[in-house]
Structure 1
Amino acid sequence: MNLNRRAMLTGTGAALAVLAARPLWATSEVMLGNTRILSLSDGHLTLPRDFIFAPMPQEELAPILTQYGLGDGPLTPPCNITLMQSEDRVVLFDAGSGLSFQDTAGKLPDALDSVGLSPEDVTHVVFTHGHPDHLWGVLDDFDEPLFANAEHMMGKAEWEYWLNPNTVNEIESARTTMAVGAKRRLEVLEDAITLFEDGQEILPGVAAHATFGHTPGHMSFELRSGSEAVFVTGDAIGNHHVAFARPDWHSGSDQDKPTAAATRVRLMDKLASEQIPIIGFHLPSGGLGHVERKDDAYRFVPRDS
């Protein structure tokens, strides 16, 4: 497997005054046989600390936050979207935030442009789950599918959860907007959606893995060519610090906290034991790296470290 890292600048020189707000797109590239895999930035989120840390034992949490240099301010996790190019397929894993969620995110169209692609070139959009930073970028400014030529794919359990009219009333109140937004967008996609189940090969070399808990039907994906693979984790592993140090702890970001913690422990063990490279949606360095066991805990080792 050939890996390299490169940075792409969207504006320099005389154009700097016009493009000052546009970031440096960090693109991590992996080759699996003839399949090219890129990690593209959709920007980053700004989250209150309690969104993740509230359910955790605060005294035990404190030294972990110190170890990882996390101060008292908000969390600013990156958003890494995986792009797979193989033969005539251009596959996105998740669609990013779009422009309706947070100002610091929704940059995927610029990232695609930086690698010579447009939304019209995308043939498949595969969703890990229906949260805003993964789904809301699927529509354009006119509420039409942004990836107009693409087949859209989602796990059956996840699809049914967000389309269920009871979800908006049963979900915790802080997530009501998420439920309303997901349902509206998925209804637009209804005629272009393909549903799949756990363990199914949804595209050549792409297998779906149920990683339920963060949402009821969250899916991760194993991209494989022969003996080589990359695992797209979505939000099954939500950060590079406490999720690795204490995967068994409940995280405030997860909808079904006990199930998500059990999933995280199982997934960490698999990834560390099998040394499968990963691309994590909210992990640093483009999300590309591997899981390393450290005593009774784990740590994320970025590809460029």
Structure 2
Amino acid sequence: MLTRRHFLAASSALMASPVTRLWAASTLDLGGARLDTLSDGNLVLPGDFILGGMPQAEMEAIVGKYGLPIDRLTPPCNVTLWRDGTNTVLFDAGSGPDFQPTAGKLAEAMEAMGLTVEEVTHVVFTHGHPDHLWGLLDEFDEPVFPNAEHAIGAAEFDYWTDPDTVNTIGEARTAFAVGAARRLAVIADHVRRLADGEEVLPGLTARLTAGHTPGHLSFDLDGGPVPVSILGDAIGNHHVAFERPDWASGSDQDRDMAAATRVALLDRIVAEGRVIAGFHLPEGGIGRVERAEAGYRFAAEV
């Protein structure tokens, strides 16, 4: 069963103010388990970071259908939480305070739903970009989730901790490489490094969905009433990524590989009837994929 839940939270600094922050989370009831998405805020990006290099007229027509501008995009950031009664698993840790001021709000969302950092048993990273990894550490460079096992794809870990990455990733992403290396160094001695197809926990399997980053992982959650795929940024928006998954996107580090990954992933999701949870998808990010006249469409479950 899919439902919508809204959380109203005000930090202590705001209690004397009429301003409050509204948090929305999608909830997927999985029988003996449940999946929530928690808002980490949103990003503010120049449009060409995602849309650059696409066929201009066709791209503008697609993006326009969704009521979006093409010069500035503000994608939401949805951190997925899975609880099965034994494990409390976060997929990614959000941005933390050091990336963009509109993001890094996960702690407020957790507080609003009464979840403490000590309760989190696992933090599983899809990839090493700032909005997914930089919330790993607190202001003292200690892990935010002190009791959690941390896991990331082995290829992803190797890429971001390779000293040469900062020299080859490109000037626009140099800070990404520096920030990832610093954070991963803190957990290097005990982080679990996942292989494609590895069972992370019973019913939870890592799937290599490379292209956005070299070792990007998505995760399949099976064994419940409906199969679920937690996508990270393998499908990074609800417009061109669905309608033209074969188009290269400026947000991907290997654009051709990422496009091939999207095409294959969307086809598998539809064929297997999977519900998806997407980090940058709207309405909390939980929904289904439907075939359209050309390509696909995202149908949020509200």
Aligned equivalents of 2:167, 2:69: Cα separation in 1: 36
Aligned equivalents of 1:244, 1:226: Cα separation in 2: 26
Q: Deviations over 1:150-207 (max 9, x none)?
A: 1100010000000111100011110000000000000011123011101111111101
Partner of 1:273: 271
Partner of 1:122: 120
Partner of 1:87: 85
Question: Contact (CA 8 Å) 2:226, 2:275: kept in 1 or not?
Answer: no
Question: Contact (CA 8 Å) 1:33, 1:225: kept in 2 or not?
Answer: no
Aligned equivalents of 1:48, 1:62: Cα separation in 2: 15
Partner of 2:68: 70
Shift of 1:18: 3.1
Aligned equivalents of 1:301, 1:221: Cα separation in 2: 20
Partner of 1:217: 215
Unaligned 5+ segments in structure 1 are none
Question: Contact (CA 8 Å) 2:287, 2:301: kept in 1 or not?
Answer: yes
1:234 aligns with 2:232: yes
* Structure 2 CA distance for partners of 1:292 and 1:203, relative to 1, 3 Å: same
Secondary structure (helix, strand or coil) at the match of 2:98 reads: coil
1:144 aligns with 2:142: yes
Q: Deviations over 1:91-134 (max 9, x none)?
A: 00000000000001001111111111111111100000000000
Partner of 1:3: 2
Partner of 2:245: 247
Shift of 1:72: 4.7
Aligned equivalents of 1:147, 1:56: Cα separation in 2: 40
Partner of 2:185: 187
Shift of 1:87: 2.4
Partner of 1:102: 100
Question: Contact (CA 8 Å) 1:151, 1:194: kept in 2 or not?
Answer: yes
Aligned equivalents of 2:71, 2:18: Cα separation in 1: 28
Match of 1:299 among 294, 297, 300: 297
Shift of 1:17: 4.7
1:257 aligns with 2:252: no
TM-score (norm 2): 0.96
Unaligned 5+ segments in structure 2 are none
What amino acid maps onto 2:220 in structure 1?
E
Bigger Cα displacement from structure 2, 272-281 vs 40-49: 272-281
Question: Contact (CA 8 Å) 1:32, 1:225: kept in 2 or not?
Answer: no
Secondary structure (helix, strand or coil) at the match of 2:25 reads: strand
CA RMSD between the two structures: 1.4
Aligned equivalents of 1:17, 1:278: Cα separation in 2: 39
Shift of 1:33: 2.6
Partner of 2:17: 18
Question: Contact (CA 8 Å) 2:43, 2:74: kept in 1 or not?
Answer: yes
* Structure 2 CA distance for partners of 1:33 and 1:185, relative to 1, 3 Å: same
Partner of 1:156: 154
Aligned equivalents of 1:193, 1:87: Cα separation in 2: 23
Aligned equivalents of 1:72, 1:48: Cα separation in 2: 8
Aligned equivalents of 1:227, 1:257: Cα separation in 2: 35
* Structure 2 CA distance for partners of 1:130 and 1:19, relative to 1, 3 Å: farther
TM-score (norm 1): 0.95
Aligned equivalents of 1:220, 1:158: Cα separation in 2: 12
Partner of 1:48: 46
Question: Contact (CA 8 Å) 1:32, 1:224: kept in 2 or not?
Answer: no
Aligned equivalents of 2:192, 2:136: Cα separation in 1: 15
What amino acid maps onto 1:3 in structure 2?
L
What amino acid maps onto 1:263 in structure 2?
T
Question: Contact (CA 8 Å) 2:51, 2:250: kept in 1 or not?
Answer: yes
